[in-house]
Amino acid sequence: MKVNVVKNVLQANDIVANKNRQTFKESQTLAINLISSPGSGKTTLLEKTIPALNPDSQSIVIVGDLQTTRDADRLSDKAYQVTQINTGLSCHLYANQIAESLGDLNFKEADFLFIENVGNLVCPGEFDLGENVKVVLLSIPEGDDKVAKYPTIFRVADLVLLTKIDLIDALDFDLQRVRDDLSKLNANVQLIEFSSHTGAGMEQWLDWLRIKQTESIGTQARFIKE
Amino acid sequence: MHELSIAMQLVEQIVAIAEENRWPRVDEVELEAGALRQVIPEMMQMAFAEATDQTLAQGALLSIRDIPAKARCNQCTLEFEPEPDNFLCPECRVADVEVLEGNQIILKTVSCEAES
């Protein structure tokens, strides 16, 4: 006996992701999925970003790591609320882990939800969490060939943050190569040269976040009218 | 390494179908994988064997059909087959596309040869 199924294998995850997206719309929260290799500066970025967004806005954070609560500990006095997900052996977050974490967070008050995904440039791209935007970090020490090597995640990024830009002169990093590789994947992706250390690109990044947050509220307003 | 995550989701669906039909086991599974998902067949076979271990689908044959990517240029509407690292429209030379095919991972059929 043969059964014709024709079903999306990742459907279970996608259904929960869509529910999350609806939840974020209703609470007018911009959900940002931060994706990068381990050590590219995601937690440091949040340590600098969240206080800079204050006092006008509330930020909450969900951090995913295989083990430890170190990232959540680092951020606990910066963000309004922080929760850590330990994924064990899983190399990415699932939508249902976000849905479960939302139960512990007072997200309705939040303007920004930062989801720090597990450090990995491959698997997080496969699993929709219901986020509004994907921000991919690429740090200068990782090398200028990573966009071409991991094209999938860079193609679906809304923004690429080129972190640790203050190290560019010390390392043999070809910025134009990154721009060229990105332009082959997605003409609409933005790139910000950024340094948590010097503050370079910080204003541009904060403006981008505020614009996206306003846009997501705008979408919500239209949604209610329809 | 994302093959294991995909295989685990796949096996959940297969086992549910087998249980629904009261099959003693699953013999064959047909999967369609879009080229943009970058599913490596050998990795997927290994992951599938691992994920089906000690389930009704243990030992099932997995066949994977690769679905080529297809994109439509948002500027000139030309449809073309992009490469994973190159989405430039052959006409406009700009990567501004809607992906029409190649993102899907679809479970097509599940079969059991045993009488039920």
* CA dist., res. B4 & res. B6, Å (int): 5
Contact B45, B77 (CB under 8 A): no
Exposed/middle/buried for A8, CB within 10 Å: 0-12, 13-18, 19+?
A: middle
Give me the half-sphere count of Cα atoms (radius 13 Å) on the Cβ side of residue B23: 25
Which tokens go with A88? 């064990």
Question: Does the beta-carbon distance from A185 to B86 stay under 8 Å?
Answer: yes
Q: Is the pLDDT at A226 greater than 50, yes or no? A: no
Hey, is the C-beta of A152 within 8 angstroms of any chain B C-beta? yes
Exposed/middle/buried for A225, CB within 10 Å: 0-12, 13-18, 19+?
A: exposed
Q: Is the pLDDT at A218 greater than 70, yes or no? A: no
Between strands B105-111 and A2-8, the pairing is antiparallel
> Looking at chain B, which runs of residues are DSSP E strands?
28-34, 61-67, 70-73, 79-80, 97-101, 105-111
H-type alpha helices, chain B: 2-20, 41-52
pLDDT tier at A108 (50, 70, 90 boundaries)?
confident
- Average pLDDT of the residues in B97-108: 94
- Average pLDDT of the residues in A101-122: 91
How close is the nearest chain B Cα to the Cα of A183, in Å? Answer: 7
pLDDT of A222 reads 40
State which H helix or E strand residue A72 sits in.
helix A70-75
Q: Average pLDDT, whole number, for chain B?
A: 94
pLDDT of A89 reads 78
Q: Is the pLDDT at A221 greater than 60, yes or no? A: no
**Stated pTM of the model:** 0.89
Identify the three-state secondary structure at position B29.
Answer: strand
pLDDT tier at A225 (50, 70, 90 boundaries)?
very low
pLDDT tier at A87 (50, 70, 90 boundaries)?
confident
Stretch among A9-13, A219-223, B41-45 having the lowest mean pLDDT: A219-223
CATH class (in words) of the domain with range B2-111: alpha beta
- Before B24, cis peptide (omega within 30)? no
Identify the three-state secondary structure at position A51.
Answer: helix
* CA dist., res. B71 & res. B90, Å (int): 11
pLDDT tier at A100 (50, 70, 90 boundaries)?
very high
How close is the nearest chain B Cα to the Cα of A203, in Å? Answer: 27
**By CA distance, what is B75's nearest residue in A?**
A187
Question: Does the beta-carbon distance from A12 to B9 stay under 8 Å?
Answer: yes
**By CA distance, what is B10's nearest residue in A?**
A9
Hey, is the C-beta of A96 within 8 angstroms of any chain B C-beta? no
**By CA distance, what is B22's nearest residue in A?**
A1
- Average pLDDT of the residues in A121-137: 92
pLDDT of B115 reads 62
Hey, is the C-beta of A181 within 8 angstroms of any chain B C-beta? yes
Hey, is the C-beta of A183 within 8 angstroms of any chain B C-beta? yes
Hey, is the C-beta of B98 within 8 angstroms of any chain A C-beta? no
Identify the three-state secondary structure at position A7.
Answer: strand
Reply yes or no on domain A11-217 having CATH 3.90.1150.10. Answer: no
How many CB atoms lie under 10 A from the CB of residue B53? 11
Q: Is the pLDDT at A88 greater than 90, yes or no? A: no
Q: Is the pLDDT at A223 greater than 50, yes or no? A: no
Contact A204, A160 (CB under 8 A): no
Which tokens go with B4? 């294991």
* CA dist., res. A223 & res. A13, Å (int): 24
Hey, is the C-beta of A127 within 8 angstroms of any chain B C-beta? yes
Query: A5 contacts in B (CB within 8 Å)?
Result: 13, 17, 107-110
How close is the nearest chain B Cα to the Cα of A94, in Å? Answer: 10
Query: B62 contacts in A (CB within 8 Å)?
Result: none
Q: What is the pLDDT of residues A136-149, one digit of tens each?
A: 999 999 999 999 99
Q: Where are the domains of chain A?
A: 11-217
Share of chain A above pLDDT 90, in %: 74
Contact B34, B81 (CB under 8 A): no
Q: Is the pLDDT at A113 greater than 60, yes or no? A: yes
Location of structure tokens 């976000």: A98
Q: Is the pLDDT at A62 greater than 90, yes or no? A: yes
Which tokens go with B37? 């998902």
* CA dist., res. A220 & res. A224, Å (int): 6
Question: Does the beta-carbon distance from B107 to A5 stay under 8 Å?
Answer: yes
Q: Pick the residue with more confidence: A186 or A125?
A: A186
In this complex, the residue of A8, A91, A127 whose CB is nearest that of residue B106 is A8
